[in-house]
Structure 1
Amino acid sequence: MPRPEQPLRKLGFLTIGLFDAADPAAGHRSTLEIIELGEQLGFDSAWLRHRHLQFGISSPVAVMAAASQRTSRIELGTAVTPLGWENPLRLAEDLATVDLLAGGRINPGLSVGEPMHYDTVKHELYPDSTESEDFSYARVERFARLVRGDKVRDFSGKQGVVEEFSNRVEPHSPGLRSRLWYGAGSMKSAVWAGESGFNLLSSSVIFPDEDQEPDFAKVQQSQIRAYREAAAAAGNTARASQGLVVIPTDSASSGQRAKYQRYVDERTPRTQSPQGPKGMMFARDLIGTSDEIAEQLYSHAGFQEVDEVAFALPFSFDHEDYVQILTDIAGKLGPALGWKASM
């Protein structure tokens, strides 16, 4: 539990990698520059959202590969990669490759479930297997086995003069399995992640059980606690990270402060009550000086259950806004939470 006498241990940030459809390269370069800045500021980790058929990064694995060659220390992750869009074997190969290039700094965050707006894309995504694709936990369990190096087939060995085949995913990156995270939004998923040996990503979107009071912080707290209990019962390590949107304004200009407040005001109504048939709950964006945000975090029941965070950057801001926000998080908010920069 972060508190003045027990400080925040790891500080990260999350970005969607927004880009302009007319000039997507510029947005990708901006994301790489932001990750480089994060390392320079001492952040422990940088995380990429995974977006398909949108104007945000669709291939975080490729972006992490590029970022790994521009940085040397900061950890790189996805929060999260929806496995419904992926072939688990091919993704295991790609992530192992990037992890080796990065020197063991990759933290894949995953989720399962039917791809968003599946009916509009299934004819292109899975034209021959639409009805048979399995989007359950079994998909991520299979991916984890492949990353771990479990046997894929019986066939292996040398064939002909130069061809040599393996019976597991190659390359194999030792340690990558222990750095797999699951993005859980429900009690069921949190417990499953603990039992199955995944680290836990708890974000600003959660789903309460029917009998739970619709209080975001308390629901998040109960899910993280259940995750830790399930992990302990299974003999698994239990790392949990929280990802809220925080917008420190310490060094912001008056124009930036007004812009940020408009953004928060537009998003606040959705946090007032559960949304949709599943009762989806959104966390409030935290805006203000770093001292004000730290005070709110210390009283947040969900934050009290973790010692590492990946604060989410707002989706639609400009590059200079992200520079200001990250600089204030590293220089003001992190220290106010007891965190010390990694250099």
Structure 2
Amino acid sequence: MPAPGVALSKLGFLTIGTFDGDDPGPGHEHLLAEIELAEQLGFDSVWLRHRHLQYGVSSPVTLLAAASQRTSRIEFGTAVTPLGWENPLRYAEDLGTLDILSGGRMNPGISVGPPMHWDDVKEALYPDTADVEDFTYERVARLHRLLRGEQASAFSGTEGIEQFSDHVQPHSPGLADRLWYGAASESSARRAGEQGLNLLTSSVVRVAPDEEPDFAAIQAGSIRAFRAAHPAGDAARVSQGLVVIPTDSATAEQRAKYEAYVEARTPRTAEPQGPGRLLFARDILGTSAEIAEALYAHAGFRESREVVFALPFSFAHDDYVQILTDMATKLGPALGWSAQAGA
């Protein structure tokens, strides 16, 4: 998005769907209600982030299957599914099923690499194959091939009264074209472009040792590298994601909570963190007019016409209702976005 006046084309949001471990039902129901509200408000998409062995959504496909039966238009996505936790063939079956149930609304977002806390979980996750599992980009390529309908079995035909297919069922045409890759570095963004995938950016980038820790500039550079490598060039789809918290209709108590949340998270935005040299974007808090001004000044945002704004972690359901409502009714229009017809 080069300058104010160029309309934002798609507005989505991302959440981890937190819940109480002793009583997980209400948290999941609140998330489903938030998805229903988002459709009513005209959002283009909702994206879920995996939280394995935590108190957030561990099975986005399952939850989105439920959401598909409560909605009719809003698109679904994962941002992102770490494929180190998944068998690509089995996951392709789940994705195909969800895409069929939702009428072609699924956008799988994925990443690669060993699972978090690998040494702690590998005996439970891969007790017999941990030392030989391939966590490279080949895992992405395998999923992509299976979603396209390429061969998964050497056998097809009839055995007794049962019919067998040699490729993943159900096959959902077009799903493979809606595969997104979550990239935190320029090299991974370029690789996603070379493979013809869509690109998800987020509030985290990886800083090279000799690189200036400028989050917006790094993100913008990755987007440009992605498009330069993608067969579709400048038309290749990119979704830009940051944590934004509009306060237009927030109560004084909510604003105080939001300010404390942002203040606690701000120190990690000053310099790269940990051995991976991860740099976090600063959360953007304020009125929708103030947020829009900050976004138009952001080099990464100016490279994209689609956004998936991340909801803050661990807020209450009423807070998310207020934030989503302000995003759709105040912030989106301030960025030139229009709610979906019929919302």
> How has the CA–CA distance of structure 1 residues 237 and 131 changed in structure 2, closer, same or farther, with 3 Å as cutoff?
farther
* 1:189 matched residue in structure 2: 188
* 1:279 matched residue in structure 2: 277
* 1:288 matched residue in structure 2: 286
Counting only pairs closer than 5 Å after superposition, residues 246-265 of structure 1 correspond to structure 2 as: 246-265=244-263
Contact 2:152–2:167 (8 Å) recurs in 1: yes
Aligned to 2:230, the other structure's residue is in SS state helix
Counting only pairs closer than 5 Å after superposition, residues 41-52 of structure 1 correspond to structure 2 as: 41-52=41-52
Q: Partners of 2:168 and 2:235 in 1: how far apart?
A: 24
Structure 2: where are the runs of 5+ without partners? none
* 2:99 matched residue in structure 1: 99
Q: Partners of 1:235 and 1:96 in 2: how far apart?
A: 28
Contact 2:14–2:49 (8 Å) recurs in 1: yes
* 2:165 matched residue in structure 1: 166
Give the aligned residue type for 2:214. D
Aligned to 1:67, the other structure's residue is in SS state helix
* 2:213 matched residue in structure 1: 214
Q: 1:244 aligns with which of 242, 245, 257?
A: 242
Give the aligned residue type for 2:324. L
Q: Partners of 2:212 and 2:3 in 1: how far apart?
A: 25
1:26-76 Cα shifts (integer Å, max 9, x gaps): 111111000000000000000001010000000000001000000000000
The count of aligned residue pairs is: 341
1:144-184 Cα shifts (integer Å, max 9, x gaps): 10111001122101111x21110000110000000000000
1:279 Cα offset (Å)? 1.3
1:6 Cα offset (Å)? 1.2
1:4 Cα offset (Å)? 2.9
1:121-140 Cα shifts (integer Å, max 9, x gaps): 10010000010000000011
1:187 Cα offset (Å)? 1.0
* 1:313 matched residue in structure 2: 311
Give the aligned residue type for 1:204. S
TM-score by length of 1: 0.98
Contact 2:14–2:48 (8 Å) recurs in 1: yes
* 2:177 aligned with 1:178: yes
Q: Partners of 2:305 and 2:210 in 1: how far apart?
A: 28
Contact 1:48–1:80 (8 Å) recurs in 2: yes
1:236 Cα offset (Å)? 9.8
Contact 2:228–2:234 (8 Å) recurs in 1: no
> How has the CA–CA distance of structure 1 residues 163 and 309 changed in structure 2, closer, same or farther, with 3 Å as cutoff?
same
1:90-126 Cα shifts (integer Å, max 9, x gaps): 0000110010000000001000000000100100100
* 1:63 matched residue in structure 2: 63
Identity %: 67
> How has the CA–CA distance of structure 1 residues 63 and 231 changed in structure 2, closer, same or farther, with 3 Å as cutoff?
same
RMSD: 1.1
Contact 2:12–2:44 (8 Å) recurs in 1: yes
* 2:327 matched residue in structure 1: 329
TM-score by length of 2: 0.98
Q: Partners of 1:2 and 1:45 in 2: how far apart?
A: 23
1:224 Cα offset (Å)? 0.5
1:222 Cα offset (Å)? 0.2
Aligned to 1:309, the other structure's residue is in SS state strand
Q: Partners of 1:326 and 1:52 in 2: how far apart?
A: 25
Contact 2:193–2:227 (8 Å) recurs in 1: yes
Structure 1: where are the runs of 5+ without partners? none
Q: Partners of 1:262 and 1:277 in 2: how far apart?
A: 28
